[in-house]
Chains A and B, each alone.
Chain A
Amino acid sequence: GAGVSQSPSNKVTEKGKDVELRCDPISGHTALYWYRQSLGQGLEFLIYFQGNSAPDKSGLPSDRFSAERTGGSVSTLTIQRTQQEDSAVYLCASSLDGRAGRNEQFFGPGTRLTVL
């Protein structure tokens, strides 16, 4: 596709339920990133995938959060046993090659997660 796509655009769930958020990066981009943006806060790094290498999970806030990237393309962020503090916009970004540093990241439109 032309840009990074994410689904769903909005997700409302009940506390304690699991949710899955999907990201489809730009074709040919080897790097994929997940961020979280809460009201009044900056983008918070969650996890980074580079090709088929082991991901950098250093930003995941708890073991309830996990992510996969299948076939070096589509990624799924899973939040288990959701809590109200998980409510935020979850943004995915991709870049040509994260190892080059300079490569700009292209962001998707985000998934707005609301935990009731």
Chain B
Amino acid sequence: GQNIDQPTEMTATEGAIVQINCTYQTSGFNGLFWYQQHAGEAPTFLSYNVLDGLEEKGRFSSFLSRSKGYSYLLLKELQMKDSASYLCAVLRGGAGSYQLTFGKGTKLSVIP
């Protein structure tokens, strides 16, 4: 089976940096996605990692260590609009049949 763990809730201050961790145990690993979901809205794509290391995209960066089954999403210069749930999702499978398994999400609250 597969298991994906991430903190349920986090709070951070506007302008600060926050790191959201995700650990996973799965077979057939083929990459890890991070999605952002504002309350009552659809998830939107943030990042994808398949190789070890850091992927940077503006204020958001995502890191992956396959050997440790670990990823984190780093948000810099936090803004109030960053208040949302952040979903870690593991892509598994292969040979044309892939499946995304999501964690329960981390609800981030950005305070003034």
Contacts and interface: CB of A to CB of B under 8 A. Distances in A.
Interface string A91-116: 10000001101101111111000000
How many chain B residues sit at the interface, stated as a range, is 20 to 34
B79 interface: no
A46 B89 CA distance: 15
Contacts of B101: 45
Contacts of B48: 102, 104
A42 B35 CA distance: 12
Interface in B40-56: 41-45, 48, 50
B42 A110 contact: yes
A106 B15 CA distance: 29
A104 B50 CA distance: 13
B93 interface: yes
A107 B96 contact: no
B31 interface: yes
A42 B104 contact: yes
Contacts of A42: 4, 87, 102-105
A107 B44 contact: yes
Contacts of B30: 101
Nearest to A33: B100
Contact of A43 (B41, B43, B94): B43
Contacts of A20: none
Counting from the closest, the 7 A-B pairs by CB-CB distance are: A107-B42, A99-B96, A43-B102, A42-B104, A42-B102, A104-B45, A101-B98
